[in-house]
Structure 1
Amino acid sequence: MTTYAFPDDLLQAQRDWYTAYQQLAETENPSQTTVLRRTLQRLSVQITTHPYWASIPGRAPAARMALKQAVWEPDPEGARP
């Protein structure tokens, strides 16, 4: 299993993406839906265009999945992002 050293800003962007996605799933306010969709779009661009991906050519798909898993894993107190 390969271990990746993700930059903190990339990890935070992925955490923020999951948070916005969860909020979108739970909201019933149409104006909030628009804001959250724009937030998800902005974060998706930030994540996919991050310079980190250029540092691991050929391994980016596996690293992207590892990023998602690293952020999705529960913290020591059992909470997810």
Structure 2
Amino acid sequence: MDPFRFPDDLLSLQAAWLKTYRTLAHVPAGSGTAVLRRRLIRLSCRIHAHPYRSAPGRSRAGGADLRRRARARGWGTAA
């Protein structure tokens, strides 16, 4: 049985986070990373506050599974 069934919009947010993080990791230091860092913060807030994750009685567990699934679908793999 599949304990976590993530909605597509949450997977899309996670994929955008992964892609932004990967892009930030490849940008040379001192070359204007503020925009990417702010985007990561916004995406993190949206992921954290997503109705799926903030529903009463729902565990916050599954973060690693969410990231794995976003990668497995091929989302967030391109820089």
| TM-score normalised according to structure 1 size | 0.76
Count of paired positions = 76
Pick the structure with more helix per residue: 1
**Deviation for aligned residue 1:25:** 0.5
In structure 2, stretches of 5+ residues that fail to align are none
RMSD of equivalent CA atoms: 2.3
Counterpart of 1:70 in structure 2 is: 69
TM-score (structure 2 length as normaliser):
0.77
Q: Which runs of 5+ in 1 are unaligned?
A: none
1:54: which partner in 2? 54
Q: Any residues of structure 2 matched to 1:2-13 within 5 Å, and which?
A: 2-13=2-13
Which runs of 4 or more aligned residues in structure 1 lie more than 6 Å from their structure 2 counterparts after TM superposition?
A: none
